[in-house]
Amino acid sequence: MISRYSRKELVKIWSEENKYKIWLDVEIAAAEAMEKFKIIPKGVASIVKKRGKIKVKRIHDIESKVKHDVIAFLTSITEQAGFKARYLHQGMTSSDVLDTSFNLQLIQSGKILIKDINQILSVLKKQANKHKLTPCIGRSHGIHAEPITFGLKLASFYEEFKRNKKRLEDAIENISTCSISGAVGTFANIDPRVEVYVAKKLKLKPEPISTQIIPRDRHAHYFSVLGIIAGSVERIATEIRHLQRSEVYELQEFFSKDQKGSSAMPHKKNPILSENLTGLARVVRGYVVPSLENIALWHERDISHSSVERNIGPDANITLDFALFRLANLLDKMIIYPKKMIKNLNITKGLIFSQEIMIELTKSGMQREKAYRIVQNHSKESFAKNINLIDLIKKDKSITNLMPSKRIDIIFNYSKHFKNINYIFKRVFKK
């Protein structure tokens, strides 16, 4: 991923240096196991650990000749560690190293993404409680529906990210497997106990059955979860973009002192962070389909998945990490305009209370279809003539004969819509 949308911690995980370091950890762990079970002479693991250094340039130089990354890596280590290093990788296939190491990189990345999500949850909880009773209009199809609170919007996002956290934890658990089973997964040339040892050493689980590779449904699950999380990021970003529109302007992204919104129009304050997050979310979701297509490989293995994973492994994780970090800051610093929310609530002259009027009429004995038609006709007139709906309702004798004026006044009040806010918040923010 380009540096503009990258953070150092994730970049480090997906660096060549870290990748080869993990490869070395796998090889050393396997050598330790082989020594323990008297498959190779003692001292191999210790001398490799002592002398084997990661020399990226040298590995690349060797690979340019042998056209095989794992052989190039092993050759580089052998050059440094000496004759005893010839026992490295005994009975193993390249994928034993590659797949186990790739899974470890995904685990390392996933744990940072969990931290990112925890930060978002913390900010959302703080903001939701702050605006628990801040009235605003709820919209369906982009049209004013009924009153809600801004805190409820944020609580909805909070609950979604709780689910995202659980999904990612499950995906990390699912990907935490190790395969050291040889060329086609039969352990023909390697003792199964080596795999058990390596798995325990690296805090993984042995893959119950592999071919030459760890089955790619595990990886598809992981990247699919990243795609879902990206969708949640875009959901929030889209909401912020809408609410910052000039016609709405219920909130605004933080705008720093020297920030410029437009090269042409000095007045502009654009929702650039939310728009950026929308784009980054699209990128992350774009990596889901290739991961799904990686599931179906030829027989026990081909390498069609390799080029895919070399791209989507770093890019999906790095991009999502950046997006989550940016979203947390955006939510923490956004500026809320409660007065504008109230103003927008009243734009429709009371149309948002139409359902309650209809319900009360049916409770008073009127047939639902008739009640619906009467309220709808008054709503149309209210909108067309810019008249308060309550004034039209109070002039209609078919209504006032069933409901006194005080009862109508009660209907045109926000309080009813907020009576269960505490109930909802207890369900969402329960410990």
Q: Just list the catalytic residues.
A: 141, 262
Task: Give the Cα separation of 294 and 283 in Å (integer).
Answer: 18
DSSP state of 423: H
Do residues 284 and 234 touch, judged by C-beta distance below 8 A? no
How far apart are alpha carbons 103 and 109 in whole angstroms? Answer: 10
Q: How far is it, in rounded angstroms, from Cα 228 to Cα 347? A: 35
Q: How far apart are CA 13 and CA 108, in angstroms?
A: 7
Length of the chain, please? 431
> Helices in 176-263 by DSSP H: which ranges?
192-201, 217-243
Q: What is the rounded CA–CA span in Å between residue 106 and residue 176?
A: 9
CA gap 133, 148 in Å, rounded: 9
Q: Report the 10 Å Cβ neighbour count for 372.
A: 16
Rounded Cα gap, residues 74 and 81, in angstroms:
10
What ranges in 271-303 are assigned the alpha helix state H? 272-286, 288-293
Of 175, 121, 148, nearest to 331 by C-alpha is: 121
What is residue 341's DSSP assignment? Answer: H
CA atoms within 13 A on the CB side of 94: 12
The CA distance from 68 to 319, in Å, is: 29
